[in-house]
Amino acid sequence: MVTLVGMQANFEDALKDLIELDYDAVEAYDAAINRLENQEFKEKLNIFKADHEWHIQELTNVLKKRNIDPPSGPSTGKQWLTKGKVVLANLIGDNVILRAMISNEIDTNTAYERISLREDMWSEAKDIIRRGLEDEKRHKKWLENTVLEKSEA
Ligand SMILES: [Fe+2]
């Protein structure tokens, strides 16, 4: 399922859902890191996870400055990601786990792309969203390259 984040009626709601998506992503990264065997992959995913934590912090500040209550944790029941933490926690094999994480990066890329194109974008959020999109593109590219290398080996 492709995530619906970014399609909300107003920018405020879209931003709230994006923050929840980032929280969901952090949980999925945690589950993946727990299941991975390759130390290098674990370290890389830890760095990517930190990017998501940074997105949460920056986007949360945008809402707070406008006196809007930000989400304080993952989505409840909405399941923004195709391969959430529950799915990840049950996977076995590094390549299988990395492939599942690619699905999630597709979701986060879609969400960041959609929100970056919104006409009702708040000016102070523009750079944060742009950098977030760049991070997600980078995460997806690394995963795709790594899965490819592993398949060829
Ligand atoms: Fe990511």
Distance from residue 105's CA to the centre of ligand 1 (Å): 5
Q: What is the mean pLDDT of residues 65-80?
A: 88
State the pTM of this model.
0.93
Q: State which fold the 11-152 domain adopts.
A: Ferritin (1.20.1260)
Distance from residue 95's CA to the centre of ligand 1 (Å): 17
The model's pLDDT over 110-119, given as tens digits with 9 standing for 90+, comes to 999 999 999 9
Token digits for 28? 């999925």
Distance from residue 116's CA to the centre of ligand 1 (Å): 16
Distance from residue 152's CA to the centre of ligand 1 (Å): 24
How far is the C-alpha of 115 from the C-alpha of 109, rounded, in Å?
10
Distance from residue 114's CA to the centre of ligand 1 (Å): 15
- Is the Cβ–Cβ distance between 107 and 2 less than 8 Å? yes
How far is the C-alpha of 105 from the C-alpha of 49, rounded, in Å?
12
How far is the C-alpha of 69 from the C-alpha of 61, rounded, in Å?
10
The domain ranges of the chain are 11-152
Distance from residue 75's CA to the centre of ligand 1 (Å): 16
Query: Does residue 77 carry a pLDDT above 90?
Result: no
- Is the Cβ–Cβ distance between 91 and 35 less than 8 Å? yes
The model's pLDDT over 41-67, given as tens digits with 9 standing for 90+, comes to 999 999 999 999 999 999 999 999 999
